[in-house]
Amino acid sequence: MQDRYDVIVVGTGAGGATAAYVLTLAGARVLNLEAGRMLDPVKDFHTHTWPWELKFRGFGPPGEYDGLWKINEYTAHLYTNPRKDRYRSDPAFHWTRLRAVGGRTNTWGRACFRHGPLDFKTKSLQGFGEDWPIGYEDIAPYYDKVERLVGIVGAKDNYFNMPDGIYCGPPHKPRCGEVLLMERARKIGVPVLLERTAVLSVPYDGRPACHYCGACGHGCDVRARFSTLDAVIPKLRKRPNYTLRTNATVYQVLTDENGRAAGVSFFDSLTKEYYEVRSRAVVLAASTVESGRIMLNSRSRHHPNGIGNSSGLVGRYLMDSVKSGAVVGVLPLLKNRVREDEDGAGGAHVTIPRFNYNRKDNYYGGYFILCGTGFGRGVSSAGGITGWGAALKRQIRQEYGATLSLRAYGERLPDYHNYFEIDPDNKDAYGIPQVRFHWRESDNDRKMMEDMYGWMEEILRACGAERVVPYKKYLEPMGDATHEAGTARMGTDPKTSVLNPFCQSHDVKNLFVTDASCFVSLPGTHGITTLIMALAWRAAEYLAEQLRKGEI
Amino acid sequence: MSENVSRRQLLYEAAAATLSGTLGVQAAQHVHRAVTQQRRAARGPYKPRYFNPHEWRTLARLTDLIIPADEHSPGALAAGAPEFIDLLCRHNVELAAMYTGGLAWLDREMERRYGKNFVDAAPEQQTALLDLIAYRKNDSPELAPGIRFFDWLRKMTVDAYYTSKVGIADLGYQGNVGMTEFNVPEEAIQYALRRSPFGGE
Ligand SMILES: Cc1cc2nc3c(=O)[nH]c(=O)nc-3n(C[C@H](O)[C@H](O)[C@H](O)COP(=O)(O)OP(=O)(O)OC[C@H]3O[C@@H](n4cnc5c(N)ncnc54)[C@H](O)[C@@H]3O)c2cc1C
Ligand code: SF4
């Protein structure tokens, strides 16, 4: 590492890699700090591993991952285990962390639907929540750039409030059950669109097309799905003005005698040795919660409540999609089908977008529904099986590939009382104070939940479900949707917001935050990541210009 | 591990070759198939590490009853279900205690009914008891421990079976191979749609 950099970017996930990319290409000397290690897709991802090749058949040691989320034998070496790096929450908050180059883009769900005009002007156009200080027209050109970088496939849908994107290839064709869903849902007025996804259907940007093995959730060993690890960082490492320092766990933003950002301090993740590095500007993109944690932990004479926190709003207005449980139906129309290879591009090839724009509901906002069908790699014991013997085996064989599962993700309204703060009694392995979460389910969340379950049942019935696996109506703990956002919201008034419309701190002009911290709302549209990247791109372009002009 | 690495390396190269047009999907599939055919060499008979010989015989019989071999495919025994359960019990004391207790309950119940332990009873006697404890609708204070235990046993047997090579083959799963295009045959779609009362034609 050199002594002095123009910009230190913290994090190599969606927000960090994008900011580093734009700044590096603009000629700035960039130091990119990443808490995790470098991954090798060939060695680190279990893309083609059969369950019987793993000691515990994919489940992991008994009890080991019970009560955890997203962690199993395929992914345990990637995600941070909350039993090893503990935090408190009241009630339970499901915080998903993946510390490695690429962050959570290594295992993400890859859905890339654009947010539309209504989503940025929630209050003035929809009559609830709050408006962003920017509109769709400000972000649209950056969506264009991001989508070209990411490589997205999809269809021109011309769907209300979900502008079409720039696609590098045709959408993936729907599976049999997905065709059925499209036919049947339409008849009850529920739209089903082809998935817009960051999984290549054609070779693009030096990466191969998907070979349809359906295993993206374990990480893709051939780089056919977008991750910053595979598609952005390699481009940067060729540049002399870009330096990547892995295993660097950032602790604080350092300040100078005027209270401006002077650099950061970090611990080497392996040796736990302490370092300080200097720069003209600092960009935090360690993911929403981690960036807020760094800010709150950066207390100094000038910033007694944490850097950039004169408003007291860092950590406040925490949002994550309102996420239902799964509702699963057995569709006789799909029973006893000729077996096909339906792995496809991991995840569904279709999606149900928000469809309540023309309705008067008793709640605010809307939601999208994710669908799962197909002949998967094995079946799970979870689906309410009963009996024993030849009959049980026959039933499983018949219902294999005949189920349709649905799960809804909805808009969460910003609420001051949903927040994280620094936990005075809990530090991590480096001695860095950990966060603590507080949140509550709102009346709006519960009303939306009733509507979600109602429609999911309705859709299954429309598809001819003979049996809906018994379920309880509930909402997953906040965090479970992995769409945390809002805890350093952008705005024009320094008293009611943390960042300005360029993700720049109101208080500290050379401090930027380019992950979902800046979100003002969290609409019911599937695609937080490309929005993070578009905002990061715009912020980094602005910062590069400020650096060039010598204003920072 | 080194095998796995070289296998993934092969896949990566196969994909790179597909990209540059030098390797067809046939060849790519061949790579996939060839590498997934590495199997553990046959070893001697398995020696349970947690269960005693009597429990082991009982467990094996139970899993065989839950997922038997049929004209389609081998059953839970061939899938290594008892071995899987033995492995899990070795790693988790609560699970182990549940199995010890559950198997003992079955023996006591069989003794009470037919004067024999479970595994030595006649097949009809064994299946008569299963017909009681395999359904929640039969729940009673007397049967509750058996019903609860059987629920777990069935879940774990099902999980073991359908994560095994024979179990996944029984389902007819075709995937985990490379394809250059994803196409659902028109016949398959018509099959689903035509049978719908108001869909298709
Ligand atoms: C299973 C799953 C499915 C998902 N599906 C979708 C989807 O379909 N569509 C969608 O849009 N989004 C999806 N997401 C969400 C998506 O992954 C995130 O929105 C996105 O990765 C967030 O980007 P980020 O840069 O804020 O954080 P991350 O990608 O998490 O990157 C943060 C980086 O910062 C590093 N870091 C953290 N703390 C420090 C520190 N103190 N010092 C230095 N470095 C640090 C981390 O190691 C990490 O590399 C999904 C996520 C998961 C887990
Ligand atoms: S389905 Fe496609 S993108 Fe996903 S892991 Fe397989 S090859 Fe990669």
Angle at B156 between CA B152 and CA B161, to 5 degrees: 150
Phi first, then psi, for residue A436 (nearest 5°) are: -135, 135
Q: How far apart are the first and last CA of chain B?
A: 53
Task: State the closest ligand 1 atom to the C-alpha of A527, by its place in the atom list counted from 1.
Answer: 11
Chain B residues touching residue A388 (CB < 8 angstroms): 65-66, 130, 134, 150, 154
- Residues B180, A464: C-beta atoms closer than 8 Å: no
Instruction: Name the H helices within A104-250.
Output: 117-120, 136-150, 176-187, 228-231, 233-237
Shortest distance, CA A332 to any CA of chain B (angstroms): 9
Rounded Cα distance between A154 and B182, Å, is 14
| Residue to probe by mutation, ligand 1, list A112, A287, A430, A535, most atoms within 8 Å of CB | A287
Chain A residues touching residue B130 (CB < 8 angstroms): 388-389
- Residues B171, A184: C-beta atoms closer than 8 Å: no
Residue A315 has pLDDT above 60, yes or no: yes
Chain A residues touching residue B137 (CB < 8 angstroms): none
The burial class, CB within 10 Å (0-12 / 13-18 / 19+), for A137 is exposed
| Residue to probe by mutation, ligand 1, list A104, A274, A296, most atoms within 8 Å of CB | A104
- Residues B12, A390: C-beta atoms closer than 8 Å: no
The residues in B 117-176 lying below 8 A from A, measured between CB atoms, are 127, 130, 134-136, 150, 154-156, 158-160, 162-165, 167-168, 170-176
Confidence of residue A263 (pLDDT cuts 50, 70, 90): very high
Q: Please give the average per-residue pLDDT across A230-254, as a whole number.
A: 98
For residue A382, the model assigns a pLDDT of 64
In this structure, the residue with its CA closest to atom 2 of ligand 2 is A210
A416 touches chain B (CB under 8 A): no
Q: What is the pLDDT of residues A76-132, one digit of tens each?
A: 999 999 999 999 999 999 999 999 999 999 999 999 999 999 999 999 999 999 999
Q: Across chain B, what does the average pLDDT equal?
A: 82
- Residues B178, A212: C-beta atoms closer than 8 Å: yes
Q: Taking CB atoms and an 8 Å cut-off, how many pairs form between chains A and B?
A: 211
Task: State the closest ligand 1 atom to the C-alpha of A197, by its place in the atom list counted from 1.
Answer: 8
Confidence of residue A1 (pLDDT cuts 50, 70, 90): low
Centroid of ligand 2 to alpha carbon of A224 (angstroms): 6
Closest by Cα among A204, A251, A263, A228 to A22 = A228
Among the ranges given (A57-66, A132-141, B16-25), the one the predictor scored with the smallest mean pLDDT: B16-25
A312 touches chain B (CB under 8 A): no
Ligand 2 residue neighbourhood (C-beta within 6 Å): A 47, 199, 210-216, 220, 222, 224-225, 345-346
Instruction: For chain B, give every domain's residue range.
Output: 2-38+176-194, 53-163
Residue A2 has pLDDT above 90, yes or no: no
Tokens of residue A404, six digits = 């349709």
Closest by Cα among A200, A67, A115 to A411 = A115
- Residues A179, B192: C-beta atoms closer than 8 Å: yes
The residues in A 188-207 lying below 8 A from B, measured between CB atoms, are 203
Q: What is the pLDDT of residues A43-86, one digit of tens each?
A: 999 999 999 999 999 999 998 998 999 999 999 999 999 999 99
Residue A145 has pLDDT above 60, yes or no: yes
Contact A16, A285 (CB under 8 A): yes
For A458-551, strand residue ranges (E) read 467-468, 511-513
For residue B40, the model assigns a pLDDT of 44
Chain B residues touching residue A224 (CB < 8 angstroms): 15
Disruptive mutation site among A330, A341, A375, A400 for chain B (greatest number of B CBs within 10 Å): A341
Centroid of ligand 2 to alpha carbon of A517 (angstroms): 30
The helix/strand count (H/E) of chain B reads as 9, 0
A213 touches chain B (CB under 8 A): yes
